[in-house]
Amino acid sequence: MLGHMGKFNHLSLVKKIFLISCKPTKSDLPILEWQICPAGCGTFVPNCQGNGSQGWTDRDAQTDLKELWKGRFSHFVETRAFHLIKKRIEKEQCIIVSGPMGCGKSSTAFHIAMVFDKTEDCDVVIISDLDDLFKYASEDKKQLFLIDDVFGEYSVSDYKSMWWNHHGKFVQNILNKNKDLKLILTSRLHIFLTVKPTQPTFCHLDFTSEDLMLTLEERKMIGRCYLRDHIIDDIIDDTGEEAILLTSFFPSLCANVRAENKEHIIEYFTLPVDYISSEINNMRKSGDLFFLALNILIIFNNKVKKIFFNKGCRQYDEMLRFLSKEIGFNRQPSKPLLFSRFIALKRSYVLEESEYFECLHINLFNALVLSIGPSIVRTLILYGESSFLNKRTCLETSGGDCPKQTIVIPKELQEMYFDRMLSDMKLGKHELYKGHQHSSVEFRKSYIAYFKKYLKASDLKKGSHAAKCLLVMSAEGFVEYVEFFLGLEKTLVNLKDNCGQTALHKACLHGHTDVAKLLLDNGASIDLTDNNNETALYIACKNNKSETVEYLLSRGSNIKPKKCDSKCPLHVVCLNGNREIAKYLLDKNAKVNDQDNNKSTSLHLACANGHAKVVDLLIKYKIDVNLKNNDNKTAIYIAVEQGNIDIVHSLLALNPKLDIATHNGRVPLHCACELRYEDISELLIERMENINIADNADCTPLYIACKNGLTRIVKLLLHNNATVNLRNEQRNTPLLVACEKGYIKIVNLLLAKEFDPNCKNNDQMTPLYEACYNDQTDIVSLLIKYGALINEPAENLQTPLFRACLKGNCNVAKELLKNGASVNQPNMSGLTPLHEACIEKREDIVMLLLNSNADITKKDKKGVTPLDIACKSGNKCIEDALLLKKHDQQKLLEVSK
């Protein structure tokens, strides 16, 4: 196919583009070398050397190249991007596809080119040398040129950028001359955004746009092409969809996966260090400011404030000079140019916010840290954030026990690192005194040796942070550090931080008993309180530090309540459910019945949180089970509220008072019925003296059980002689609410107890009325069987039939009419059931009423008949039915006359 390509001899670019369109021999083609001509103001001048050597790629070479690309992209998946780009290249002559590294732009472009190769009778030529475009472009044949990384691969190629600036118009002329010639160009997004070519006019498609971005399903399809046994689905199950959605270079990750087991594959996708490292190394070799920009992102711990790019900040300028030198940039970078690189990195590596730049997502940042961090250790030590150094670095030790995914600081930089730690301490920053590296004995010994050499007592007395170093060391639990600082300045032992806490508070908070002992032996006050009035003992209790609590009690710590909320250590351990500490305190004569400001005892708190073992312990120490909190709730009420039957059993063994009511008048049995705890309700009923007790709304346990459909409890209450006709404040009865809710078994039980089926509430509604409204046909039949008055109206004179017609309950209406319901009985507005059915456009009910001889001419108080309503309703079916009825009535009348 390539043998039939036309030839361009680029001897005079300005005068004429197309010189010849014939089949050349190999010796006809000149070698073109582009040289910058100083005299020509930087223009490119062709240098033709017709030495007879082959200056173009022949058919075999192109075939080999295509086969190479096919192998490289053998697992290609057609995506939305593929179809959209293919559609656009069919209409456009020149398309540039940009996107982040590894997003699939090259494979997509290649497979689109192959479609043209097979279906469009089009010569597809893959070139990397831009000059080849002029060599092989035809004047009149169908051709598609594919140029990958058209402006450079890892950085902007000065040559390629200049080439397009100078020859873009000539490329445009070629395209104008041959409308069957097409170009598909690809470029990494950050490089494209740096170059932003204007000639020729490109149709630009971006892989980070909503239309082209890979969807979750597309990513799954790609993953399944490369990974065995649906492992892509396992990754999603284990880490969530973000693991495959966050990385734009997901297709390339899949293509390069080498791990075998599932754990390594998951790590490969969530922390793609190897992949990123390869990219970063190539970017580093290019010497572009993109690499420097990513280094700055690491130094600033993923938040580069835009003020960094302003002039005149000495600290930032010093950092930039130091960093540039460390990574081998010999020139001082321009901040405006550096800012432009951050802008260009958007959507590939960074995200721009109003005041700062940050990495696109944390997984990418983590990978960048591990890829870049080891090469900028000195800059990190001097200028990195303390929190970054604490979490992401580790000083090299002889044991080599640095945690995974940290930057190892070489041994030779130990003193530099210690200098930074000391500098932070003097500034009141103590992040570097926390974390994993202090767990190394070797590290601690080295640092204490450094302390002894460089740290003075006067350093600890300066500023408002004087005590903080000792507090941090105590919180971390390193005895050697605490011992050193106390030896250096003993007066630190009782100094407080802004929260009012001493070193003893911090040690007890974390359960460092050996540190607590050291502090107490050096004069720490055991019962000092912090800003929350909490002692070290209280804090240890709150945080379940059993060993520390036991030690503090042995040293005579006070177990009295706090002043602010009257909570004592016993309260807080019962709240947490720590039986062991509770026993320590009770054995030290903690007052078991002490109440806090909410009047809650330790028993209330244990019950509220379901700590059955603590409840049993408190019972042994003779706690008062009938004490009430501020809501008038006893311990058993709270246990019922929580549905904890084990605790209820334990408390019932003490014969508590079960009729102590809360502020709303409810006792434990009300609560159990309301929350549908049938087993607990049964336990309470067996022990209740008065099962008819009503709450402030006059609701009895029976009423609540009927409302909630607790058939078993209703049976039990009735068996224990619960009064069935008691009403609540709305005069609703258990029967009425059971009918309303549709609990037919309960209705049966109540009616069997000779319950009055016609009792009315405040709105004069009967159980039958409620059953009709709620479409309970079976209950309607049952009530009628037990003597319910079928035409008994409510307060508004609506009958049960009217109510059924209003709601469209046709089966209920049938049952009522079958049992003699008055079909024409009006409400207080004079509306009959037929009026209402016509208003609501209930066709089935209208037919039912007409068949039951409903009066179509009966007028309401405004003189309106059902027929009037039907004619205005717009419902042809109802209108025709009533007109037919009227016609039949008139005919019948004529016959009778």
DSSP per-residue letters across 480-512: HHHHHHHHH-GGGGG---TTS--HHHHHHHTT-
CATH 3.30.390.10: does it fit domain 467-558? Answer: no
Between CA 599 and CA 605 the distance in angstroms is 11
Whether 224 and 103 have beta carbons less than 8 Å apart is answered as: no
Residues 297 and 358: their CA atoms lie apart, in Å, by 7
CATH 1.25.40.20 in the chain is located at: 467-558
E runs forming strands in 71-122: 94-99
* CA dist 78 → 73, 106, 112, 765 (Å): 12, 13, 10, 68
- Residue entry with tokens 């950050």: 190
- The pLDDT, as a whole number, for residue 43 is 30
Low-confidence stretches of the chain (pLDDT < 70) are 1-58, 197-201, 229, 398-400, 461-467, 888-897
Q: Quote the CA–CA distance of 276 and 365 in Å, as a whole number.
A: 10
Annotate 309-345 with three-state secondary structure.
HCCCCHHHHHHHHHHHHHCCCCCCCCHHHHHHHHHHC
Q: Provide the residue type at 753 as one letter.
A: K
Distance, CA of 366 to CA of 377 (rounded, Å)? 16
Q: Which of 858, 864, 843 is nearest to 889 (CA)?
A: 858
Angle between helix axes 441-454 and 414-426 (nearest 10 degrees) is: 60
Contact 647, 615 (CB under 8 A): yes
C-alpha radius of gyration, the chain, whole number: 43
- The label of the residue with tokens 């059931």 reads 833
What DSSP designation does 748 have?
Answer: H
What is the maximum span of the chain, computed from C-alpha positions, in angstroms? Answer: 130
B/e letters for 119-132, b = 16+ CB within 10 Å, e = fewer, are: eeebbbbbbeebbb
143-164 tens-digit pLDDT: 999 999 999 999 899 899 889 8
SS3 205: strand
Can you tell me the distance from the alpha carbon of 522 to that of 758, in angstroms, rounded to the nearest whole number? 84
Residue 4's pLDDT is what?
32
In angstroms, the CA 438 to CA 389 distance is 13
* 285: its two tokens: 């070799």
Joined tokens for residue 588: 């030290």
Report pLDDT for 465.
59
Sign of CA dihedral 295, 297, 298, 300: positive
What is the C-alpha to C-alpha distance for residues 418 and 430, in angstroms, rounded to an integer? 13
**Residues 570 and 592: beta-carbon distance below 8 Å:** yes
Q: What is the pTM of this model?
A: 0.69
Residue type at 683 in one-letter notation: L
Tokens representing residue 622 in the block: 């003779």
- The Cα–Cα gap between 214 and 208 comes to 9
3-state class of 526 per DSSP? coil
Q: How many CA atoms lie within 13 A of 634 on its CB side?
A: 25
Yes or no: say if 711 and 734 are a contact pair by the CB < 8 Å rule: no
pLDDT of residue 50: 32
C-alpha closest to that of 127 among 200, 26, 32, 245: 32
Instruction: Judge whether 379 and 329 are in contact, CB under 8 Å.
Output: no
What pLDDT shows up at residue 876?
A: 85
CB 618 within 8 A of CB 610: no
Q: Are residues 809 and 772 in contact, defined by beta-carbon separation less than 8 angstroms?
A: yes
Distances (CA, A) of 59 to 2, 52, 125: 5, 18, 10
334, 389 Cβ separation under 8 angstroms: no
Q: Quick one: angle between helices 711-719 and 744-752, nearest 10? A: 10
Q: Which residues of 635-667 are buried (b: 16+ CB within 10 A; e: fewer)?
A: bbbbbbbbbbeebbebbbeeebebebbbeeebb
Return the SS3 of 124. Answer: strand
CA angle 246, 252, 254 (to 5 degrees): 85
Residue 379: how many CB atoms within 10 A of its CB?
A: 22
